[in-house]
Amino acid sequence: MKRYRLTRKDFLKTSIFATSFVDKPAIEVGLIYLNDDNQPSNRVLLEKGIAYSPVLIPNKVIPRVTDDGEEFEVYFEAEDIEELSQDYMKAGSPMGNFNSQHNDNQKLEGVHVVENWIIEDPAHDKATRLGFKLPKGTWMQGIKVDNESVKDKIKSGEYFGISIEGDFDHIIKLKSINIIKEMANIKDTITKLADKISGKQKFGSQALESGSVVYFEGDTLSSGSIVYVDEAMEAVAPVGEHKLDDGRIIVLGENSELVEVKEMEEEMKEEDFNKEDVENIGKVSVSNAEGIESLRKENTELREELKGFQTKLTELSKVITEHSTKLSKVSAPDSVTKLESIEESSKVNNYLNNRKSY
């Protein structure tokens, strides 16, 4: 699912131009009201007539669905919320611009913002004293309600919270995060392949008497070496003694560390070699030659694989550059900016470009 970070549009005086009383606020936090004794009274508006509510909560993920049914998510970061609140206050005009359920034809008179602040210290903030449990960076408002109809709807629960209306830049985030992870994995793979091809990463192997093979870092088995049973060196060998095909015995301690190599008790004498032994040595030589040719082939394949990874990395680098670039500015406030992404015709992008309420 796509996730977008919403930010202010630099060319606009304010990105937020109206507030709506709604039954289901996107931030999922309702209003709290003060009674005539300045005590918080949830969902009951008395003589004091001030409603308190968070406007935006940092990093609060808000699920959304386009008109075509495509799901996506949006959120605001703390630094963006602070900028939006400052623009809102400097513009002034939005502080008295309220409507009902995001319906422009149902303007609400007698409703004005009289308090506006950002939570800096949640433990000692006014919002906490009012009964809210909100994080640092949350934008709070106190709204004076002199409209009796609005008061009645608040008392009945028809109005549970507020929701802003605005025009924001949007930057896709989720795919960028996945691409960064994929690039890191590819870079790691390329490094390992390059080291293997160049010989920087050296590892050895040794056949066991049973016919299986163990692997270790370096050219030879030495004290402290970790011994593995797979070429990728991910699965360690069992603790204990293992007899090599040359007659030696390796002793593995805790964590499959090599603690001892026991040499053969007797060396074979020259007369012990017979015709069959000589023939076997010849076969081993042929086998070694075939093994060298196999390694050469593997080396060529690894080079081709490395080339493929480098090509993919170049393509991904271009994509991440596009995703980290903000939307281009336009000259007129009514113009619509479009997100540059992998899917140019994305329904979510089109929906966000035309959506005004959050």
Q: What is the pLDDT of residues 271-312, one digit of tens each?
A: 445 556 556 655 555 555 666 666 677 777 777 777 777 777
Same domain, 171 and 206: no
Same domain, 12 and 84: yes
Q: Residue 79: inside a domain, yes or no?
A: yes
Same domain, 22 and 164: yes
Residue where one domain finishes, among candidates 249, 264, 279: 264
Q: Taking the alpha carbons of 222, 224, 227, 233 in that order, is the dihedral positive or negative? A: negative
Same domain, 162 and 15: yes
Q: Residue 146: inside a domain, yes or no?
A: yes
Q: How confident is the model at residue 98 (pLDDT cuts 50, 70, 90)?
A: very high
Same domain, 42 and 168: yes
Same domain, 69 and 156: yes
Mean of the per-residue pLDDT values of the chain = 75
How high is the pLDDT of residue 327? 38
- Which CA distances in Å does 177 have to 73, 183, 190, 325, 342? 15, 10, 20, 14, 14
Q: Give the model confidence (pLDDT) of 130-149 as tens digits.
A: 888 899 999 999 999 999 89
Same domain, 6 and 69: yes
How many domains, in total, are found in the chain?
2
Q: Residue 85: inside a domain, yes or no?
A: yes
Name the phi and psi angles at 251, rounded to 5.
Answer: -115, 120
Same domain, 159 and 71: yes
How high is the pLDDT of residue 353? 60
Q: Residue 234: inside a domain, yes or no?
A: yes
Q: Residue 62: inside a domain, yes or no?
A: yes
Question: Is 159 a residue whose pLDDT tops 60?
Answer: yes
Q: How confident is the model at residue 198 (pLDDT cuts 50, 70, 90)?
A: low
Instruction: Give me the domain span that covers residue 128.
Output: 2-176+333-354
How high is the pLDDT of residue 315? 73
Give bridge partners of residue 228 from the DSSP assignment.
215, 236
CB 89 within 8 A of CB 113: no
Same domain, 230 and 341: no
Cβ neighbours around 100 below 10 Å, total? 19
Q: How confident is the model at residue 339 (pLDDT cuts 50, 70, 90)?
A: very low
Question: Is 265 a residue whose pLDDT tops 70?
Answer: no
Same domain, 135 and 214: no
Same domain, 113 and 242: no
Q: Residue 321: inside a domain, yes or no?
A: no
Please give the average per-residue pLDDT across 240-264, as a whole number.
87
Same domain, 23 and 170: yes
Confirm whether pTM is higher than 0.75.
no
Name the phi and psi angles at 85, rounded to 5.
Answer: -65, -35
Q: Residue 140: inside a domain, yes or no?
A: yes
User: What interhelical angle do 275-323 and 174-198 show, nearest 10?
Assistant: 150
